[in-house]
Amino acid sequence: MTNPILLIVDDQPANIQMLATILQDNYQIKVTTNGKDCLKIANNSPQPDLILLDIEMPDMNGYEVLRQLRASQVTIDIPVIFVTAKVDYDDEEMGLELGAVDYITKPIHPAIVKVRVKNQIMIKHQKDQLIQMALHDQLTKLYNRHYLMETARLKIAKSLRHKVPVSIAIMDLDHFKLINDNHGHEIGDKVLIAIGELLLGHTRKEDITARIGGEEFVIIFDHCNQIDVEVKANHLREKIEQLKPQQLNITASIGVSQLDFNGETLEQLLNRADKALYQAKKQGRNKVIAI
């Protein structure tokens, strides 16, 4: 496990050096001397896990930096600790009201800095775990139905607005109940995990891959028309057939559809893909059908 990333922002290099020396053994350290570069670093991957931010800086002070961090969906959740010589209660109140998670006054005490940074990193780690659990299927680690539906609505709205093709595939593992009945649920779970890993390994980062039921999966393909999604779905079907998880022969039936730009809703798109899946099963399974 890699060490958490800390971004230290202070216009005085001596202050940066002092904090870096205190914290470098347990964290990856990034530094900058101004607010604009802080915002750039925070918006790029990998993002810092915590920002130690000075208040009194030229051009853009720490309060304005924090306002901009909190105004962006990309950076809104990055915790910020103010490290400053300002000791008035009004200054501390302002920082906390803007969204700072803590407030360290100069001159700094190394033991206090270490503890406060450790506490905030621990809180962020716990929060990240809760978010992970809320958005992902706990068995396969794919996205869950809730995340799929929320994200799909945004993708469809964007697709309809910009006339960019979006397609969907609904996949069902064939005769999966027999696997659980004949080999037990533990083997069945291992098969599902292997399928999840395969799907993640053969879809793009911009695609959304989710498990929405026992053996049912949905993939949203961004910038993908119906011809392309049929090709992609058949590729996945072939990979699944070749996989043989737990030395078992596994196949999948897949229904695919491209979003109709004439105001089609997510529910209507899912319904068409589901009808295509039904046809794939009716025609013998281990097929891809497009509607």
Identify the bridge partners of residue 254 per DSSP, sorted by sequence position.
171, 288
215 a catalytic residue: yes
Which residue in 64, 97, 186, 215 is the catalytic one?
215
Backbone phi, psi, residue 161, to 5°: -70, -40
Cβ neighbourhood burial of 54 (10 Å; 0-12, 13-18, 19+): buried
- Give the catalytic positions in this structure: 215
